[in-house]
Structure 1
Amino acid sequence: MKINIEVGDVLAVAADVLISTANPWLNLSGGVNGAILSAVGPTIQAELHEHLKSKGLSAVPAGTVVQSAAGGLPFNLILHAVAIDPFYDSSIELVRKTVVAALDLAIKAGAKTISTPTLATGYGPMSIADFGTAVAPLAGEPRFDGLTLTIVVRSDEHRSELLEAISVTRDQA
């Protein structure tokens, strides 16, 4: 898998699939989720709540990925990735597990290009470097060959942190 890092707005980076941050209640309440709600209105929120209702749940476990329509955004679909627990805690292992689940769903959907913000780094406790440490080993996974993952960050400083973490993790592998 090829990993690109861009500075900008993740909702403006066209890709086959967007992996979006999500909380266990699938509420589009802040960060990238809030931006999705602002951009497309309540349709995706309604779809996510219907998913919970159809499963008889009020929340999904950490590590869950739920698919929705893209609501007119430049993606074929959105994968809402829950990389935090109900207390907004996370770990490198949980982020890696969640990204793997999302990438597997993206492949099933026929995606070749995927964009994502840094999961669990906004309301979650993870650093940008931790996210890089979580995803770097996935670049060498044969099942992800042919994919391009674009990680979108908000600043040049975050881009530098992420590049360093990914290169250090690859060197240690």
Structure 2
Amino acid sequence: MQIDIVQGDITGRPVDAIVNAANSSLLGGGGVDGAIHRAAGPELLEACRGLRAGELQHGLAVGAAVATPGFRLPAKWVIHTVGPNRHAGQTNPALLASCFTQSLRIAEGLGARSVAFPAVSAGVYGWDARTVAQVGIEAVRAYAGRPPMGGEQKVELVEFVLFSEETAEIFRQALQETGG
């Protein structure tokens, strides 16, 4: 699996699936979540409302992931994951790693070959970008190293798409430090 670090806007990435750093309500918010909802159009909110009316009546759990169509995005799918909120006492790195692992599992189930991740939990949820980079890259590498489920592993490219050059550089350093 190839891992790339990209500075830019995740909503414009030409990948099969983008990951949304969502809140548990799935009904939009600020930061990456708000940008994805705006770019995807009102159909994304309706799809999320449908999830909330059905299987996710109580919201999406921290570390879990679920997919919707991408609607007006270049990406065919949006994979929503809820990162842990340090301000709410959610400081276990395993919860953060689960966001990446579960998103890749969903992507593989969809047949996605390329996936773009933001810096899940590094914004308003208070996690240090360096920690997010280390945990995220390690989780992706561990997922890539596991035996494929039911045949060949489908995800070939993972991009970490960071809005600021400063955060992109933090991710580049973490990638180099972890052997990449």
Is this a same-fold pair by TM over 0.5? Answer: yes
1:133 maps to 2:142 = no
Q: Residue 70 of structure 1 aligns to which amino acid in structure 2? A: G
Decide whether aligned partners of structure 1 residues 56 and 114 sit closer, same or farther in structure 2, where only a CA change above 3 A counts: closer
* Aligned residues: CA RMSD: 2.2
Q: Which moved more, 1:106-115 or 1:162-171?
A: 162-171
Equivalent residues of 2:81, 2:103 under 8 A apart: yes
Deviation at 1:109, TM superposition (A): 0.9
Q: Which moved more, 1:53-62 or 1:17-26?
A: 53-62
Decide whether aligned partners of structure 1 residues 8 and 56 sit closer, same or farther in structure 2, where only a CA change above 3 A counts: closer
The structure 2 residue matched to 1:150, chosen from 153, 156, 159, is 159
Deviations for 1:5-26, whole angstroms, at most 9, x for unmatched residues? 0111011111011111111111
Equivalent residues of 1:89, 1:125 under 8 A apart: no
TM-score under structure 1 length normalisation: 0.88
Decide whether aligned partners of structure 1 residues 54 and 88 sit closer, same or farther in structure 2, where only a CA change above 3 A counts: farther
1:123 maps to 2:161 = no
TM-score under structure 2 length normalisation: 0.85
Aligned position for 1:16? 16
Match of 1:15, SS?
coil
Which of structure 1's runs of 4+ aligned residues deviate more than 4 A? none
Q: Residue 94 of structure 2 aligns to which amino acid in structure 1? A: E
Decide whether aligned partners of structure 1 residues 93 and 169 sit closer, same or farther in structure 2, where only a CA change above 3 A counts: farther
Decide whether aligned partners of structure 1 residues 97 and 2 sit closer, same or farther in structure 2, where only a CA change above 3 A counts: same
Q: Residue 157 of structure 1 aligns to which amino acid in structure 2? A: E
How far, CA to CA, are the matches of 1:20 and 1:42 in structure 2? Answer: 15
Q: Which runs of 5+ in 2 are unaligned?
A: none
Q: Which moved more, 1:41-50 or 1:99-108?
A: 41-50
Match of 1:71, SS?
coil
Q: Which moved more, 1:108-117 or 1:128-137?
A: 128-137
Q: Residue 151 of structure 1 aligns to which amino acid in structure 2? A: F
Equivalent residues of 1:88, 1:125 under 8 A apart: no
Match of 2:88, SS?
coil
Match of 1:78, SS?
strand
- Number of residue pairs aligned between Structure 1 and Structure 2: 171
Match of 1:95, SS?
helix
1:94 maps to 2:95 = yes
Q: Which runs of 5+ in 1 are unaligned?
A: none
How far, CA to CA, are the matches of 1:67 and 1:90 in structure 2? Answer: 25
1:166 maps to 2:175 = yes
How far, CA to CA, are the matches of 1:56 and 1:129 in structure 2? Answer: 31
